[in-house]
Chains A and B, each alone.
Chain A
């Protein structure tokens, strides 16, 4: 299906009014005031928040730090020589290539902005934004394996089955918008990341906290928003009348079964579903955006169009108070992502170009619209890469050190913390996913040590038993 087909089909669905579309918008909005839970104090807020919403940009596959943000001039003279960190330290690599010859970055670096952050030529646009960003220069992961490391960054645990940060935030803070899910995930259309849906799972938290996968380029961008097939008898009237029927049936049921919170909540959930159906088309309709905004996001160029469209959609979601948005660059598997094993010269600039302009445009737009004042943006990945080559000119996985940056609400822009060793092999001052998660929760007004959920005999936390606030980069 070509994009225009997709658009056409979607437009058709909406124009034909499948769903509750025929219900008067003001009627629905009027009803929410009494029905919704909005405005109730969040279940687990412990102090006044700095940020209201979060956007996480996840670069799937492991971004090479020494080819992007972590300039390592010491690698230059060592280029081609066998990597030896000294002191008898053992060098191990996951995929066990022999030799470990050092590979200096083939990309030119220069210092950018007032803060003087080094940025390589693969990120020309992000390079221009460094004074808005705060860099964590020495994130460390306990694992060199994609699956485990992705779980670490998303859920704080190296094992599957734990809730991810977005689910914890949804659980902690409840709803702030009436019409859209609290936690939205926009995967790369080329494929789901490592662990598939496992990275967005609600784990042992109730299923309503799981990430809702939204694919703006799909015919049915929200799961189950409409029937997937064509059913002529299911139309706007049948659905709006159906909602009325449900109200009648449930009202009667409630009368004879007695007041029960579960039953009333279910009735509300249908009203919310109706509003979601009503609001979704407008949310994804980018025709309302000006050409200059679209080009700011790179939607006018082939290679940046997709990521730009997802970033722009994210901005529209932020405007509608979606609490937590995750945007993925890169699919799982050996290619189409940041897992640059075979040729860093070719593979890295290719994937970097797809996100560089859109991300810079996104930050600029959030600044211009004021959304950045209460939105926290996090750019991250699951691990870094080795300072030596694998095969001819690739780099292997390295949990030793990698770079993450933050921007927006509660972040002190133009700062950085943490140092990696002279080769970018290991962090000298490791910063952990726990610290990032603790900070994220803190900025949202949640004390990570007090946000717990009892499961299988333990009070589980997003940060396990760890977590230190990243004070130096906090405003």
Chain B
């Protein structure tokens, strides 16, 4: 292609690329298929096959499996041996072998005779929830940092993990489990646990730089919000329904009957939520109080609070009360008569009757202003700087810069008891203010760094204030002297034009002087002359103040990082206070917004009612609740099939539908469609009991087959899609770690609570902290917790766990990779944790048995439930004799016999 031609082509590409802007197109273009996939069809219990195969006569699962094996000309494998079964079932259900204290009761079980009893016992243990919660964490891509470039820790994400463990252990009905994760806070407002469930929607990454750094209303910000909801949609629709609704973001779904309208209807469902820490209370009464107060406050700020409640007698009383307390607060803010200081800049200062000072036009670019005055109080608690507009200033100021702005570099305060004493600096702390220009802050006024400053662009022509608490320690009395120095180092005439400095002696909790302009005006208006709107403004504020008082009376809450519609703003990250407007974006482009889309679900699946409380759709929670009910509907076959497929997958090593997050036309068809439907029906009919399904599968003969490889069977079905054997599985990262801890008896069995950081963390140069795994001792107590309690860092994952295929939590992982490579081998040999655990195990074995032969025997019995073969024993003994039992254990941990569960 010639360069010119190339350029033309590029231009054409660019036209369309520009339209997409932020990589929205990640799906294949094409015409929509109206063809509903197999998985949409109603769920009906298929009849049990007549086929039997040998001893496989009773169990429904075996009959389905037998039918297919027969059809393919395959035969099942013989029953697994005791040791294989034990290792398999413990790993499956607990993710680790029995702990030393379990060995006693385990002895009373004949594994083959008492199999069902053993299965029940394992499922009843809390270790079950710890194991299976981790599977769900893969699916929903849960981690405890934001990801992206500002990868800040989420210290309160763990309650969601605990919610998962508790729910699984309680065998919470699956549909309820799902509903709570989507809208538990709305469904069961009185239960804290249901609120922590919404950590589900917040599990994925969050783009802090875009969400916190970019101003509301800009395209970049809107885009960040659309992308944030896209993550919620994908997590919801993939996890619960195994459907790729996210593919309809730019165009109708290529394979499935999901229109772009459907996609934006789902966007609208989540239009009112963000991810943020959310308070909850373990005490039910407190929880209810706080949540209803929060709901009231959110309604009031979001314009959904009934006006009648703001105009009644009670509201008026609240206003009166508030005005009185406000007068009291304000009356204590006082100033003193200023005197100019000689070192100050040359321009004149004019004092006004309201105590403010007007500074005449500066002749220099930079410089300082200084004056003194006498303290109006004994023991002042705070000092306030008001910057005020003035008609003499450009654009009314408050600054002398062309655009009316100022940039104040430092605000320094000095004190002396009388003119004979030297000036002493007054230490200020806890700065607060009503508004800061982007990238500036009032913090910079007291940081001693003249290159950082405070400005107020673009809020020109309005008054602004900041105040600082005065650190205790100086014995300041009334009429002592204060000196103020205002330093301007920004240049370009960014001087302050008019200001006032005042002091108060009220307790610092009660001095907040900032009022919104409307509120200030309403307050300044004589009561009888106030407009209706002004009365409402006052009533709203007084009501909020009243509620704030109630909040303060509550004990301090627990926090969970979850979906929330109401939280204190951080930078430019602010709550929606009601659903944001969602528009259908043509080709997914933020530059091509179409019509506003109301909330909804997949329109093709019209046999499932979409029943939101229409009156209440302004309340975002109603939208999520409606989706929760739609997703978990009895007739939503996708919902039941998807979970039945997953449970099968984690027991049998491969799912019946090999694309567990895509049961649509673009995914694979099930290897055993009737079996899948039969299991899905069982799950639904049992009231959503996942433990019922576990029991069912674990008690089948199919599950209890050997895993031995057979060449002739492999020629027909190398991938074991038809389950002619049990698929051997490598221990996952977590199971490997936990197994070591269990074997050495060093496992800390405490459940739940804040995640353990198995690394050192210190502040980084920016938001992301510096994290050191290598330097964290393998002997630290934190290392002994189960892996599910590890603190999960998104962009800085544990290198050992990563080498063992612990997934990247930036993306959804319905099935883990099992990779093999030299770096994994090195990690397994040289990781400090493994070296340490090998030592512990060798010590324990050495205590129990004096001779190496018995030690090796015990090692095998304990970890593999069998005696070693003479050859294994000989090799290990010989090695241990030369290099110690600890090294022998370490290499044993690296052996295939240990790493693979048969």
Flag the segment in B281-289, B377-385, B882-890 that touches A: B882-890
- Give the complex CA separation of A142 and B29 in angstroms: 20
The digit string for B853-897, where 1 denotes a CB below 8 A from any CB of A, is: 000000000000000010110011001001110111011101111
A227 touches which of B17, B708, B796, B832 (Cβ 8 Å): B832
- Give the complex CA separation of A173 and B215 in angstroms: 44
B473 at the interface (CB under 8 A from A): no
B227 at the interface (CB under 8 A from A): yes
Chain B residues near A74 (CB-CB < 8 A): none
- Give the complex CA separation of A225 and B439 in angstroms: 44
Q: Are A269 and B820 interface neighbours, CB within 8 A? A: yes
B659 touches which of A192, A231, A242, A454 (Cβ 8 Å): A454
A157 at the interface (CB under 8 A from B): yes
Q: Are A262 and B730 interface neighbours, CB within 8 A? A: yes
- Give the complex CA separation of A248 and B247 in angstroms: 50
- Give the complex CA separation of A272 and B825 in angstroms: 9
A332 touches which of B14, B207, B768, B895 (Cβ 8 Å): B768
- Give the complex CA separation of A231 and B838 in angstroms: 12
Q: Are B764 and A224 interface neighbours, CB within 8 A? A: no
Most chain A CB inside 10 Å of its own CB: which residue of B9, B17, B822: B822
- Give the complex CA separation of A265 and B802 in angstroms: 19
A12 at the interface (CB under 8 A from B): no
Please provide the chain A residues from 461 to 475 with a CB less than 8 Å away from any CB of chain B in the complex: 464-466, 468, 471-472
Flag the segment in A47-55, A299-307, A316-324, A425-433 that touches B: A425-433
A457 at the interface (CB under 8 A from B): yes
Q: Which residue of A lies closest to B709 (CB)?
A: A258
- Give the complex CA separation of A146 and B207 in angstroms: 11
Q: Are B11 and A429 interface neighbours, CB within 8 A? A: yes
Q: Are A223 and B827 interface neighbours, CB within 8 A? A: yes
Chain B residues near A222 (CB-CB < 8 A): 826
Number of residues from B at the complex interface, CB < 8 A: 121
B21 at the interface (CB under 8 A from A): yes
Chain B residues near A329 (CB-CB < 8 A): none
B765 touches which of A195, A204, A231, A333 (Cβ 8 Å): A333
- Give the complex CA separation of A210 and B876 in angstroms: 34
Chain A residues near B22 (CB-CB < 8 A): 142-143, 148, 158
A331 touches which of B765, B869, B886 (Cβ 8 Å): B765
- Give the complex CA separation of A94 and B181 in angstroms: 35
B32 at the interface (CB under 8 A from A): no
Q: Are A253 and B457 interface neighbours, CB within 8 A? A: no
- Give the complex CA separation of A94 and B149 in angstroms: 15
Chain B residues near A210 (CB-CB < 8 A): 802
A161 at the interface (CB under 8 A from B): yes
A203-B811, A204-B811, A263-B900 in contact; A270/B819 too (CB < 8 A)? Answer: no
The digit string for A248-285, where 1 denotes a CB below 8 A from any CB of B, is: 11101110111110110111011011011100000000
The smallest C-beta distance from A199 to any residue of chain B, in angstroms, reads 9
Chain A residues near B666 (CB-CB < 8 A): 457-458
Chain B residues near A197 (CB-CB < 8 A): 795-797
- Give the complex CA separation of A198 and B809 in angstroms: 10
The smallest C-beta distance from A10 to any residue of chain B, in angstroms, reads 15
- Give the complex CA separation of A237 and B879 in angstroms: 11
The digit string for A182-208, where 1 denotes a CB below 8 A from any CB of B, is: 000000000110111110011111111
Q: Are B830 and A225 interface neighbours, CB within 8 A? A: yes
B354 at the interface (CB under 8 A from A): no
A207-B819, A457-B661 in contact; A191/B764 too (CB < 8 A)? Answer: yes
Q: Are A159 and B23 interface neighbours, CB within 8 A? A: yes
A456 touches which of B9, B238, B823 (Cβ 8 Å): B238
A159-B23, A332-B149 in contact; A430/B887 too (CB < 8 A)? Answer: no
Q: Which residue of A lies closest to B892 (CB)?
A: A249
- Give the complex CA separation of A206 and B818 in angstroms: 7
B805 touches which of A207, A239, A246, A427 (Cβ 8 Å): A207
Chain A residues near B824 (CB-CB < 8 A): 207-208, 269
Most chain B CB inside 10 Å of its own CB: which residue of A140, A242, A276, A331: A242
Name the interface size band of chain A.
35 or more
Q: Are A225 and B151 interface neighbours, CB within 8 A? A: no
Q: Which residue of A lies closest to B402 (CB)?
A: A99
- Give the complex CA separation of A258 and B707 in angstroms: 9
The digit string for A329-358, where 1 denotes a CB below 8 A from any CB of B, is: 001111110000000000000000000000
- Give the complex CA separation of A197 and B808 in angstroms: 10
B831 at the interface (CB under 8 A from A): yes
B189 at the interface (CB under 8 A from A): no
B808 touches which of A140, A150, A161 (Cβ 8 Å): A161
Q: Are A457 and B662 interface neighbours, CB within 8 A? A: yes
Q: Are A224 and B823 interface neighbours, CB within 8 A? A: yes
- Give the complex CA separation of A203 and B817 in angstroms: 11
Number of A-B contacts defined by CB within 8 Å: 334
The digit string for B381-417, where 1 denotes a CB below 8 A from any CB of A, is: 0000000000000000000000101000000000000
B205 touches which of A160, A257, A429, A435 (Cβ 8 Å): A160
A223 touches which of B27, B214, B823 (Cβ 8 Å): B823
A288 at the interface (CB under 8 A from B): no
A95 at the interface (CB under 8 A from B): yes
A145 at the interface (CB under 8 A from B): yes
A212 touches which of B2, B823, B832, B895 (Cβ 8 Å): B823
Q: Are A273 and B822 interface neighbours, CB within 8 A? A: yes
B44 at the interface (CB under 8 A from A): no
A84 at the interface (CB under 8 A from B): no
B326 at the interface (CB under 8 A from A): no
B366 at the interface (CB under 8 A from A): no
Please provide the chain A residues from 412 to 445 with a CB less than 8 Å away from any CB of chain B in the complex: 417-419, 427, 429-432, 435
A146-B149, A160-B205, A241-B883 in contact; A249/B820 too (CB < 8 A)? Answer: no
The smallest C-beta distance from A336 to any residue of chain B, in angstroms, reads 7
A253-B897, A269-B822, A430-B14 in contact; A198/B147 too (CB < 8 A)? Answer: yes
- Give the complex CA separation of A355 and B599 in angstroms: 53
Q: Are B766 and A181 interface neighbours, CB within 8 A? A: no
A96-B438, A224-B803, A224-B830 in contact; A196/B872 too (CB < 8 A)? Answer: no
B820 touches which of A148, A265, A432 (Cβ 8 Å): A265
B327 at the interface (CB under 8 A from A): no
Q: Are A464 and B25 interface neighbours, CB within 8 A? A: yes
The smallest C-beta distance from B472 to any residue of chain A, in angstroms, reads 35
Q: Are B820 and A195 interface neighbours, CB within 8 A? A: no
Chain A residues near B25 (CB-CB < 8 A): 464-466
B361 at the interface (CB under 8 A from A): no
Q: Are A468 and B13 interface neighbours, CB within 8 A? A: yes
Q: Which residue of B lies closest to A473 (CB)?
A: B3
- Give the complex CA separation of A196 and B768 in angstroms: 9
Q: Are B883 and A254 interface neighbours, CB within 8 A? A: no
Q: Are A457 and B247 interface neighbours, CB within 8 A? A: yes
B728 at the interface (CB under 8 A from A): yes
- Give the complex CA separation of A249 and B892 in angstroms: 8
The smallest C-beta distance from A412 to any residue of chain B, in angstroms, reads 11
Chain A residues near B896 (CB-CB < 8 A): 249-250, 253-254, 257, 263, 266-267
B684 at the interface (CB under 8 A from A): no
Chain B residues near A457 (CB-CB < 8 A): 238, 244, 247, 659, 661-662, 664, 666-667
Q: Which residue of A lies closest to B438 (CB)?
A: A96
A144 at the interface (CB under 8 A from B): yes
Please provide the chain B residues from 788 to 844 with a CB less than 8 Å away from any CB of chain A in the complex: 794-797, 799-800, 802-805, 808, 810-814, 817-827, 829-832, 835
Q: List 9 A-B contacts (CB under 8 A).
A: A195-B149, A204-B811, A208-B821, A224-B826, A257-B707, A270-B822, A460-B26, A465-B28, A471-B1
Given contacts A96-B438, A96-B439, A205-B817, 13 further A-B contacts (CB under 8 A): A145-B149, A160-B794, A160-B811, A207-B817, A227-B832, A231-B835, A233-B883, A273-B825, A334-B765, A431-B10, A435-B10, A457-B667, A458-B247
Nearest first, the 9 closest Cβ-Cβ pairs linking A and B are A258-B709, A147-B149, A161-B811, A161-B810, A457-B662, A457-B244, A333-B766, A160-B810, A333-B765
